[in-house]
């Protein structure tokens, strides 16, 4: 696996993962995150997260609806958090392996393309 910029990641499609593969090693993850501004590690380095502030509650819901459509198209579903009516966060990881896979970085790059 090689480090890719955001543009390269957005040309890819998430591939279904049923487990049985190793999560990405931490040195790879930290280097790959340098190509995805704003995303950072959480949960003992097993997830990535990004936070945004939106104009209002409706804007947050609109953003999450667009993320939901993307997640369905990619068959890769993040956790969505809306707190205090205008603070939104997204956490991504590959549930089947309990850590991070290339799919997570692909989805993060595509979410960034949606804009807030």
Q: What mean pLDDT comes out for the span 101-113?
A: 97
pTM comes to: 0.95
Position 45 confidence tier, pLDDT thresholds 50, 70, 90: very high
Tell me how far CA of residue 2 lies from CA of 27, 29, 47, in angstroms: 12, 10, 19
Domain boundaries, the chain: 42-116
Average pLDDT over residues 31-42: 97
| CATH code reported for the domain at 42-116 | 3.30.1360.20
Q: Tens of pLDDT along 21-33? A: 899 999 999 999 9
- Structure tokens belonging to residue 116: 């807030």
Interaxial angle between packed helices 102-114 and 57-74, expressed in degrees from 0 to 180 and rounded to the nearest 10: 140
Reported as a pLDDT band with limits 50, 70 and 90, residue 19 is confident
The percent helix, strand, coil of the chain (3-state, each to 5) is 40, 20, 40
């Amino acid at each position: 696996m090689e480090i890719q910029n955001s543009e390269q990641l957005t040309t890819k499609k998430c591939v279904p993962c049923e487990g049985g593969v190793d999560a990405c090693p931490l040195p790879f993850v930290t280097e790959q995150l340098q190509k995805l501004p704003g995303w950072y590690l959480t949960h003992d380095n097993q997830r990535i997260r990004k936070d945004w502030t939106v104009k209002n509650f409706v804007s947050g819901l609109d953003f999450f609806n667009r993320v939901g459509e993307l997640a369905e198209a990619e068959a890769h579903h993040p956790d969505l958090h809306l707190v205090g009516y205008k603070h939104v966060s997204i956490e991504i990881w590959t549930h089947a392996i309990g850590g991070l896979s290339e799919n997570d970085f692909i989805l993060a790059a595509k979410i960034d393309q949606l804009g807030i």
